[in-house]
């Protein structure tokens, strides 16, 4: 039976590494084959559905969505970056606060929020985005591995280890991951500004769109000038006037509730303004819609005949007075998308941007996140219970709607994690873990140093050719077996595995953050390899050295 199990595991990993088969399909096929051949009992094969690590990942996705929804990340990023003048200075400003945040919530939404800020720096100050985006993505990955909740692979390792009677704490991974993170950051700060030359971009600079945004009563920009808020002028848009009642004021005037800010913008700038948390915009989506054929009138008529608010159009006239010609594209918002389907003046429409950030719930969101961290750190509750409770509170407090909370769940990621637990069960139940552990012990001739090196290198290779979830599920039981064989603290070897799983620096497809920055930074496959090899070497040497000292 062990040969069947080995064949299933190897073929599943090969399929995942090939890139030709979706990881979800590869895992599902492997689990189905194991179930049909009787390699593992169904209760173990599908144990990932009730695994504490998978449950925690799901809950933390909801919590991260709540924090990001308040716009706090973009606001902090703007405050940090408003005076920077170079890529090196940008990295020095971002790396610590972004790293701390990455240790507490999923890194993917953090990187997503930073991309527009970094692109704006390129447009307004000539700081090349490619010199910042990939280093920051790698910095968040390194920081995420320092805590239990910072990355899904750490939670998966903890979930598998708990089944073997090994309890992993909030900061158990920090013994190895924190020194590696600090050394990796130091290398990034020194090498990154010199690693990439500026790519020649040709952005759209034709500001032929008029945008009219109201300032809400509780907007965080009230009493401050647009220039101080960083929204007076960028390459994407510029503030033309402030409309206060019937008066038009100079753009240098402090903002007041009820003001309407009038911008000239590029089409990309329309969505960028809608995503800004500074105006207290309605918690609604922005839609790009076309005026239906045969309709005549103004955009004011378009609003009067349906429950929609026009935000932008390609015009120099006030939006209310602009003619709505058939086929014209306008940007608008509404409370219920059904209003668009029933609006006779609107033809085709599609999402142009997500819901506007809601900064009024910032302290609720941060308080819930802090409560989860404290509960998990001091053992007040199991981490999955603390995280699940935090996710529920995000809805009860009004930070997220129930529908938004459900939409925060990435079912593809969750199934990969659950399926990887099943793959790990095949490795354990069939005896593969014991065979591999015995082989490593034999090859290392009983040397603990050789075991640490072998485990670190194997983890790094596996995480770059498959997924970090697969690497965690395969190597965690092997690490536990080796810890028992050499009578060392299993938490150190688990921390080594969790840390090396984060070395996803060579392959853009090995981590979602890599894929997110690939297009905005105009990176190629070779860019990842050339930039990633030195970082992998530096990080790997540090991880091996720290782990050896810890187990000696």
Q: Which helix (H) or strand (E) holds 244?
A: strand 237-244
What string of DSSP letters covers 260-294? EEEEEE-HHHHHHHHT-TTS---S--EEEEEEPTT
Report the number of distinct structural domains present in the chain: 1
131 domain-assigned: no
User: Which percentage of the chain shows pLDDT scores above 70?
Assistant: 93
Tens-place pLDDT, residues 439-472: 888 877 778 899 999 999 999 988 888 778 888 8
Q: 473 with 427: CB under 8 angstroms? A: yes
Report the CATH number that the domain containing residue 261 is assigned in CATH: 3.30.70.1450
Higher-confidence position of 201 and 448: 448
Tens-place pLDDT, residues 209-265: 999 999 988 888 899 998 888 888 887 889 999 999 888 998 889 999 999 999 999
Contacts of 143 (CB under 8 A, 6+ apart): 98, 99, 100, 102, 103, 107, 150, 181
Look up residue 256 and give its DSSP letter. Answer: -
322 domain-assigned: yes
The residue written with tokens 């409309």 in the block is 243
Q: 71 with 176: CB under 8 angstroms? A: no
Rounded to whole angstroms, what are the CA distances from 260 to 217, 242, 302, 331, 514?
Answer: 12, 6, 19, 16, 39
The three-class DSSP label of residue 37 is: helix
Q: Which of 161, 40, 146, 46 is nearest to 103 (CA)?
A: 146
Task: State how far the Cα of 299 lies from the Cα of 288, in Å rounded to an integer.
Answer: 14
Tens-place pLDDT, residues 67-93: 888 878 777 877 888 788 888 899 999
Contacts of 434 (CB under 8 A, 6+ apart): 481
| Residue 3 tokens, joined | 């040969």
Task: State how far the Cα of 191 lies from the Cα of 537, in Å rounded to an integer.
Answer: 14
Task: State how far the Cα of 394 lies from the Cα of 390, in Å rounded to an integer.
Answer: 6
Top mean pLDDT of 33-37, 39-43, 192-196, 429-433 is at 33-37
Contacts of 36 (CB under 8 A, 6+ apart): none
Task: State how far the Cα of 262 lies from the Cα of 282, in Å rounded to an integer.
Answer: 17
pTM: 0.73
Average pLDDT in the chain:
85
User: What is the pLDDT, as a whole number, of residue 173?
Assistant: 95
Tens-place pLDDT, residues 39-75: 888 888 888 888 888 899 899 989 988 888 887 877 7
352 domain-assigned: yes
Higher-confidence position of 138 and 513: 138
Task: State how far the Cα of 146 lies from the Cα of 142, in Å rounded to an integer.
Answer: 7
Task: State how far the Cα of 251 lies from the Cα of 241, in Å rounded to an integer.
Answer: 5
217 domain-assigned: yes
Contacts of 483 (CB under 8 A, 6+ apart): 489, 490, 492, 493
Question: Rounded to the nearest 10 degrees, how much is the dihedral formed by the CA atoms of 248, 78, 372, 49?
Answer: 100
Q: 528 with 508: CB under 8 angstroms? A: yes
Rounded to whole angstroms, what are the CA distances from 203 to 124, 128, 377, 520?
Answer: 12, 13, 46, 12
User: What is the pLDDT, as a whole number, of residue 95?
Assistant: 93
User: Which percentage of the chain shows pLDDT scores above 90?
Assistant: 31
pLDDT grade, residue 200 (50/70/90)? very low
Contacts of 272 (CB under 8 A, 6+ apart): 116, 120, 234, 236, 237, 265
Burial of 351 (0-12, 13-18, 19+ CB in 10 A): exposed
**Torsions phi, psi of 46, nearest 5?**
-110, 25
Task: State how far the Cα of 375 lies from the Cα of 385, in Å rounded to an integer.
Answer: 9
Task: State how far the Cα of 175 lies from the Cα of 180, in Å rounded to an integer.
Answer: 9
- Domain enclosing residue 349, as ranges: 209-359
User: What is the pLDDT, as a whole number, of residue 204?
Assistant: 47
Q: Is the pLDDT of residue 174 over 90?
A: yes
Which of 128-137, 364-373, 427-436, 447-456 is predicted least confidently? 427-436
Tens-place pLDDT, residues 368-418: 999 999 998 888 899 999 999 999 999 999 988 898 888 888 888 888 888
Q: Which of 112, 12, 102 is nearest to 519 (CA)?
A: 112
User: What is the pLDDT, as a whole number, of residue 229?
Assistant: 85
Tens-place pLDDT, residues 299-350: 888 777 667 888 899 888 898 888 877 667 888 888 777 777 667 667 666 6
The residue written with tokens 């299933």 in the block is 8
Length of the chain: 552
Task: State how far the Cα of 365 lies from the Cα of 32, in Å rounded to an integer.
Answer: 40
User: What is the pLDDT, as a whole number, of residue 202?
Assistant: 44
3-state helix, strand, coil in the chain (%, to 5): 60, 10, 30
Q: 399 with 66: CB under 8 angstroms? A: yes
Task: State how far the Cα of 178 lies from the Cα of 168, in Å rounded to an integer.
Answer: 16
Task: State how far the Cα of 191 lies from the Cα of 185, in Å rounded to an integer.
Answer: 10
171 domain-assigned: no
327 domain-assigned: yes
β strands within 379-448, DSSP E: none
111 domain-assigned: no
Task: State how far the Cα of 390 lies from the Cα of 384, in Å rounded to an integer.
Answer: 10
How does 48-87 read in b/e, with b if 16+ C-beta sit within 10 Å?
beebbbbbbbbbbbbbbbbbbbbbbbbbbbbebbeebebb
Query: What strand order describes the sheet that includes 209-214?
Result: 247-249, 237-244, 260-265, 209-214, 309-313, 329-333, 286-291, 346-353
448 domain-assigned: no
Task: State how far the Cα of 274 lies from the Cα of 322, in Å rounded to an integer.
Answer: 21
User: What is the pLDDT, as a whole number, of residue 208?
Assistant: 85
Task: State how far the Cα of 278 lies from the Cα of 78, in Å rounded to an integer.
Answer: 11
Task: State how far the Cα of 467 lies from the Cα of 92, in Å rounded to an integer.
Answer: 30
């Amino acid at each position: 039976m062990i040969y069947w199990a080995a064949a299933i595991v190897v073929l599943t990993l090969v399929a995942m590494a090939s890139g030709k088969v979706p990881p979800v399909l590869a895992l599902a096929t492997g689990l189905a084959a194991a179930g049909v051949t009787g390699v593992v009992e169904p209760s173990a094969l599908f144990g990932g559905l009730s695994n504490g690590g998978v449950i925690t990942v799901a809950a933390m996705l909801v919590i991260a969505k709540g924090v990001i929804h308040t716009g706090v990340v973009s606001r902090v990023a703007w405050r940090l970056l408003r005076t920077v003048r170079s890529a090196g200075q940008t990295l020095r400003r971002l790396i610590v606060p972004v790293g701390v945040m990455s240790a507490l919530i999923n890194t993917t939404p953090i990187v997503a929020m930073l991309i527009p800020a970094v692109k704006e720096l390129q447009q307004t100050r000539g700081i090349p985005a490619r010199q910042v985006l990939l280093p920051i993505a790698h910095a968040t990955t390194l920081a995420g591995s320092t805590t239990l909740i910072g990355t899904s692979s750490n939670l998966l390792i903890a979930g598998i280890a708990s089944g073997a009677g090994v309890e992993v704490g909030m900061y158990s991974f920090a013994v190895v991951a924190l020194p590696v993170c600090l050394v990796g950051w130091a290398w990034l700060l020194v090498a990154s500004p010199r690693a990439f030359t500026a790519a020649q971009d040709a952005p759209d600079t034709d500001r032929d769109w008029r945008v009219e945004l109201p300032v809400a009563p509780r907007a965080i920009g009230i009493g401050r000038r647009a220039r101080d808020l960083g929204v007076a002028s960028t390459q994407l848009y510029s503030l033309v006037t402030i409309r206060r009642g019937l008066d038009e004021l100079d753009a240098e005037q402090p903002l007041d509730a009820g003001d309407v800010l009038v911008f000239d913008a590029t089409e990309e700038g329309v969505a960028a303004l809608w995503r800004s948390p500074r105006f207290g915009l309605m918690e609604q989506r922005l839609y790009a819609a076309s005026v239906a054929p045969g309709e005549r009138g103004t955009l004011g008529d378009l609003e009067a005949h349906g429950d929609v608010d026009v935000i932008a159009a390609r015009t120099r006239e006030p939006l209310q007075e602009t003619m709505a010609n058939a086929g014209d594209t306008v940007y608008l918002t509404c409370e219920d998308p059904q209003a668009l389907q029933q609006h006779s003046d609107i033809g085709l429409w599609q999402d142009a941007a997500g819901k506007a950030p809601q900064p009024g719930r910032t302290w609720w969101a941060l308080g819930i996140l802090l409560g989860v961290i404290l509960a998990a750190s001091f053992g007040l509750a199991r981490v999955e219970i603390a995280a699940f409770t935090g996710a529920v509170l995000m809805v009860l407090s009004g930070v997220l709607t129930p529908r938004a909370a459900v939409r925060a769940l990435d079912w593809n990621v969750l199934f990969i994690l659950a399926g990887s637990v099943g793959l790990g069960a095949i490795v354990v139940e069939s005896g593969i873990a014991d065979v591999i552990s015995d082989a490593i012990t034999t090859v290392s001739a009983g040397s603990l140093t050789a075991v640490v090196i072998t485990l670190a290198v194997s983890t790094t290779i596996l995480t770059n050719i498959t997924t970090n979830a697969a690497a965690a599920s395969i190597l965690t039981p092997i690490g536990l077996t080796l810890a028992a064989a050499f009578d060392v603290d299993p938490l150190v070897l688990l921390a080594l595995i969790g840390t090396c799983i984060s070395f996803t620096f060579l392959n853009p497809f090995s981590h979602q953050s890599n894929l997110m920055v690939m297009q905005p930074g105009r990176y190629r496959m070779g860019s990842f390899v050339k930039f990633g090899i030195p970082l992998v070497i530096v990080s790997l040497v540090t991880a091996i050295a720290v782990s050896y000292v810890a187990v000696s």
